[in-house]
Amino acid sequence: MQDADCFLTIAELGARYAAGTAKPSSIASLHLERIARIDPVLHAMQVVDVDGALKAAQESDARWAAGRPTGPLDGVTVTIKDNVDVAGFPTRHGSRTTPDTPAAADSPVVARLREAGAIILGKTRLPEFGWKGLTDGPLQDGPTRNPWNIAASPGGSSGGAAACVAAGIGTIAFGNDGGGSIRIPANLCGLYGLKPTFGRVPHHPQEGMFATLVSGGPITRTVEDAIATLDVMARPDDRDWFALPPTVPGWMTGLEPKLKGLRIAYAPVLGGFGPDQEVRAVVDAAVEKLRSYGATITEVPSPIGELKGRFEVYWIGAFARRMRLIPKERWDELDPTFRDLAERGMAVTIDQLLDAEAARAALGREFAAFHRDYDLMLTPTMPHVAPPVETIYHCQVYDRWRDSVPFTLPFNLTGQPASTVPCGLSASGLPIGLQVVGAKYSERLILEAGLAIEAALGFAQPHPVLVKALDALV
Residues of the chain with pLDDT under 70: 1
pLDDT at 348: 98
**For residues 384 and 128, what is the distance between their CA atoms, to the nearest angstrom?**
23
Q: Assess contact for 275 and 383: CB atoms under 8 A.
A: yes
pLDDT at 207: 79
Quick check: is 157 catalytic? Answer: yes
**For residues 459 and 424, what is the distance between their CA atoms, to the nearest angstrom?**
7
What's the pLDDT tens digit per position in 100-121? 999 999 999 999 999 999 999 9
Q: Assess contact for 143 and 153: CB atoms under 8 A.
A: yes
Q: Assess contact for 438 and 416: CB atoms under 8 A.
A: yes
pLDDT at 474: 75
Q: Exactly one of 81, 123, 195, 440 is catalytic; which is it?
A: 81
**For residues 99 and 106, what is the distance between their CA atoms, to the nearest angstrom?**
17
Cβ count near 208 (within 10 Å) = 17
The residues spanned by each domain of the chain are 4-308+349-473
pLDDT at 208: 80
Quick check: is 426 catalytic? Answer: no
pLDDT at 148: 98
pLDDT at 1: 63
Quick check: is 181 catalytic? Answer: yes
Q: Exactly one of 157, 158, 404, 442 is catalytic; which is it?
A: 157
Q: Assess contact for 378 and 297: CB atoms under 8 A.
A: yes
pLDDT at 2: 73
Q: Exactly one of 25, 60, 181, 404 is catalytic; which is it?
A: 181
Q: What does CATH list as the number for 4-308+349-473?
A: 3.90.1300.10
Q: Assess contact for 340 and 394: CB atoms under 8 A.
A: no
